[in-house]
Amino acid sequence: MSLIHHPDNPVPRGAESGFVSTPDGIKIRYACWAATGTQRLGTVTVLQGRAEFIEKYFEVVEDLRGRGFDVVAFDWRGQGGSQRITRNPRRGYISNFKKYRLDLRTVLKEVSLANYPGPHFALAHSTGGLVLLSDTERLRTMLDRAVITAPLLGLPSGAHALGLVDARRRILRTLTFGLFGKAPLKAGGPKTSAAVEKIGFPLARLFCLLGFGWLFVPGGNRKLFVSFEKNRQTSDRTRFERSNKVLEHAPELGVGSATFGWLNAAARTMMPLRRRGAGPGIKLPCLMLAAGADRIVSTPAIEDFVARTRSAAYVEIPGSAHEIMMERDIYRDQFWAAFDAFIPGLEAEEELADSRLQATATVGSKAKR
């Protein structure tokens, strides 16, 4: 499947796309671009979130190329233009995140590392961030650094019923003349959704054991679109509608709601990273950016994880919704400022400077001859 062009979302020039096959025989769609900047700084492999597709990241690709990076992007199995793994292609399903890790390793080995020089970096979002963090022991030998936006380390507390919670607080404040019903301080509130973790995760596990992992989670469906007013991804209408236009033009790229199988696989990958000893085991240098107004993943859970991880730095962008890279410019500019400060990093810059000096010396010696 070639890249989809839309007038409002044109394919960046110079694209090369194709498929690579994983060891278990799944075809993964990828695309790559050469840097356009005057100074080449390395290669960035983009790891998208759940239900996303390469075309959604065209603007990000151009931003990276202009900074001097070669770019590789790909679709996880079961979504975008990669091979689907269920009879109904709209079901967001995976049985184990080990398969996502296999997708990533395959793309890195056969595309990024095979065709583009280092240093090599990853730019991951949400589910892509969870996949990366669950495999850093292996990826440390393949990547130099990683930037992760809104990694899926927990689901936000009360996000499924914010309206009801606010209404209850208003009633309590009225009946008690303001003594009760105040919103809890951020530091003292729950970091994740206890209802989902204590009820939803075990329920998903049970359904998978019974052979019903392919069913949508409660309230889920195969629909691809929600209105801008109801979306929880971004506050930028133009970027939100641009992605929807691509899906309207090529609905085969889309995926509906998550299934019990996906939720169970995510829980089994997420929960070990929440243990106290998980952070110190992360050796890959990472910069994690959290969205201050995130209603899809838990920002406090991200902050807590970074506090236990020596190799990670943390930046929170106040007011931003979940998809920081698809947000309004006031938030995107903060993201890119943090990215530029962290990538390529001092060690990589020194290596690049040394390689340029060696190249200059080689040219000089040849000229003397």
Given a cut of 50, whether residue 259 has pLDDT beyond it is: yes
pLDDT of res. 337:
97
* Token pair listed for 213: 């992992």
CA–CA distances in Å: residue 288 to residues 40, 91, 123, 333, 336? 24, 29, 10, 16, 13
For residue 193, name the pLDDT band (cuts at 50, 70, 90): confident
pLDDT of res. 251:
96
CA–CA distances in Å: residue 337 to residues 192, 292, 332, 342? 29, 17, 9, 9
User: Among 39-48, 107-116, 340-349, which stretch is predicted with the lowest mean pLDDT?
Assistant: 340-349
Distance between CA atoms of residues 139 and 134, nearest Å: 10
Given a cut of 50, whether residue 177 has pLDDT beyond it is: yes
DSSP letter (8 states) at residue 88: S
* Token pair listed for 173: 């404040």
The domain 16-157+192-368 is placed in CATH, from the list 3.40.50.1820, 3.40.50.720, 3.10.20.310, 3.40.605.10, at 3.40.50.1820
Task: State the average pLDDT over residues 96-108.
Answer: 98
Rounding to the nearest 10 degrees, give the CA dihedral for residues 260, 265, 270, 272.
130
pLDDT of res. 37:
74
Sequence-separated (6 or more) residues with CB below 8 Å from residue 11: 3, 4, 5, 55, 58
pLDDT of res. 161:
39
User: Among 293-297, 331-335, 362-366, which stretch is predicted with the lowest mean pLDDT?
Assistant: 362-366
Task: State the average pLDDT over residues 327-348.
Answer: 91
Given a cut of 70, whether residue 347 has pLDDT beyond it is: no
Given a cut of 70, whether residue 75 has pLDDT beyond it is: yes
pLDDT of res. 280:
85
- For residue 156, list its beta bridge partners: none
Distance between CA atoms of residues 58 and 296, nearest Å: 23
Domain ranges of the chain: 16-157+192-368, 160-187
Q: What percent of the chain has pLDDT over 70?
A: 84
* Model confidence pLDDT, tens digit, residues 131-156: 999 999 999 999 999 999 999 999 98
pLDDT of res. 165:
43
